[in-house]
């Protein structure tokens, strides 16, 4: 029997991957691929720093509005430590979790304490973090439900989880169009799929099940530029322009549906313990 790795629902009748759970909405691959990222020369800096600099700033702005005392922050999937560095510069006591040893070393070399085990196996002290951030990492976890429950345990009462995750409701249709060859002539590959792919209702389900309250989801602004070089023959300028235009359209839909339409390519979720 094949079961959904998030809610445990029976998906045995489904045959084509990614399988899509009818209960919680998770789209996932049965055979997982957990491997260290390998990028072309010059891409790593763009992906981990330049493309997300504004997103990191927006995250810290939000956390400082709702947690004016700042405090202890844990970044799960901290990669090379760019968000930790930004948080520390603004007065947070920051540490990270990064299971890729090469990336973890780079974060540690910046002076941060970094665990190289998954968050649910790291043995961190509970009830002590003011904020936990998770940028595009739930999609690559082995057990996201266990991770969400552990994050709840780690947060101090009133603490905040801030996550950013790819929106499967956007990327799955694009992926199907790619499979039909629609973007082949352009050399473009706009969809982003991982082992686990979350819809808005899937993120809400996961957070509610872990015990979180005051759950809020919204479209995320896009990353800057074309860090993964997915634009193909259309190039980075087209990609940048398209992302900005599409985000504006997604936001317009969100407004006219009174916060019920999530068409953005990525989502931001916040919740409180």
Q: What is the pLDDT of residues 203-256, one digit of tens each?
A: 999 999 999 999 999 999 887 655 555 545 555 555 666 677 777 877 887 788
Helix then strand count (H, E) for the chain reads: 8, 10
More confidently predicted of 208 and 2: 208
Q: How many domains does the chain have?
A: 1
**Is residue 111 one of the residues assigned to a domain?**
yes
How would residue 52 be classed by pLDDT, with cut points 50, 70 and 90?
confident
Q: Lowest-pLDDT range, 25-34, 98-107, 122-131?
A: 25-34
**Is residue 12 one of the residues assigned to a domain?**
no
Q: Is the pLDDT of residue 55 over 80?
A: yes
**Mean pLDDT, residues 93-119 taken together:** 95
Q: Which residues contact 243 (CB under 8 A, 6 or more apart)?
A: 222, 223, 265
Q: Is the pLDDT of residue 153 over 90?
A: yes
Phi, psi (deg, nearest 5) at residue 269: -125, 140
Radius of gyration (C-alpha) of the chain in whole angstroms:
18
**Is residue 183 one of the residues assigned to a domain?**
yes
102: containing domain: 42-272
Give the CATH number, domain containing residue 111: 3.40.50.150
Core vs surface per residue 76-106: b (16+ CB within 10 A) or e: bbbbbbbbbbbbbeeebebbbbbbbeebbeb
**Mean pLDDT, residues 42-61 taken together:** 76
**Mean pLDDT, residues 7-32 taken together:** 88
- 165-197 per-position pLDDT tens digit: 999 998 898 888 777 766 666 656 666 788 999
pTM above 0.85, yes or no: yes
Instruction: Return the axis-axis angle of helices 200-210 and 144-154, rounded to nearest 10°.
Output: 50
How would residue 137 be classed by pLDDT, with cut points 50, 70 and 90?
very high
Core vs surface per residue 49-73: b (16+ CB within 10 A) or e: bebbeebbebbbeebbeebeebbbb
Of 36-45, 48-57, 150-159, 240-249, which has the strongest mean pLDDT? 150-159
pLDDT in the model for residue 14: 82
The chain-wide mean pLDDT, for the chain, equals 86
In angstroms, rounded to a whole number, what is the distance separating the alpha carbons of residues 117 and 124? 10
**Is residue 238 one of the residues assigned to a domain?**
yes
In angstroms, rounded to a whole number, what is the distance separating the alpha carbons of residues 236 and 6? 36
**Is residue 5 one of the residues assigned to a domain?**
no
- 33-42 per-position pLDDT tens digit: 655 555 555 5
Closest Cα partner for 186 from 227, 231, 245?
231
CA 188 centroid distance within chain = 22
In angstroms, rounded to a whole number, what is the distance separating the alpha carbons of residues 94 and 104? 14
Please state whether 47 falls in left (phi above 0), alpha (psi between -120 and 50) or beta: alpha
Residues forming beta bridges with residue 142, ordered by sequence position? none
pLDDT in the model for residue 104: 94
On the 0-12 / 13-18 / 19+ scale of CB atoms within 10 A, 272 is middle
pLDDT in the model for residue 228: 55
Residues forming beta bridges with residue 10, ordered by sequence position? 3
């Amino acid at each position: 029997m094949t079961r959904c790795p998030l809610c445990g629902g029976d998906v045995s009748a489904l045959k084509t991957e990614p399988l899509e759970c009818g209960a919680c909405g998770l789209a996932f691959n049965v055979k997982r691929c957990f491997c260290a990222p390998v990028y072309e020369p010059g891409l790593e800096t763009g992906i981990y720093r330049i493309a997300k600099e504004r997103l990191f700033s927006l995250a810290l702005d939000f956390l400082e509005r709702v947690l004016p005392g700042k405090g202890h922050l844990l970044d799960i999937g901290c990669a090379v430590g760019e968000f930790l560095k930004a948080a520390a510069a603004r007065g947070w006591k920051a540490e990270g979790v990064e299971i890729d040893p090469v990336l973890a070393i780079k974060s540690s070399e910046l002076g941060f304490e970094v665990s190289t085990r998954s968050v649910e196996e790291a043995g961190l002290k509970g009830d002590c973090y003011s904020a936990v951030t998770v940028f595009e990492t739930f999609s690559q976890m082995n057990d996201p439900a266990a991770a969400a429950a552990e994050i709840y345990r780690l947060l101090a009462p009133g603490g905040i989880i801030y996550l950013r995750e790819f929106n499967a409701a956007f990327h799955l249709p694009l992926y199907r169009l790619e499979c039909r060859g629609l973007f082949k002539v352009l050399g473009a590959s706009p969809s982003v799929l991982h082992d686990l792919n979350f819809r808005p209702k899937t993120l809400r389900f996961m957070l509610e099940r872990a015990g979180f309250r005051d759950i809020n989801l919204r479209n995320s602004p896009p990353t800057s530029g074309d860090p993964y070089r997915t634009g193909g023959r259309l190039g980075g300028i087209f990609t940048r322009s398209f992302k900005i235009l599409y985000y504006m359209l997604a936001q317009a839909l969100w407004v006219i549906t009174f916060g019920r339409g999530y068409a953005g390519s990525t989502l931001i979720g916040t919740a409180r313990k």
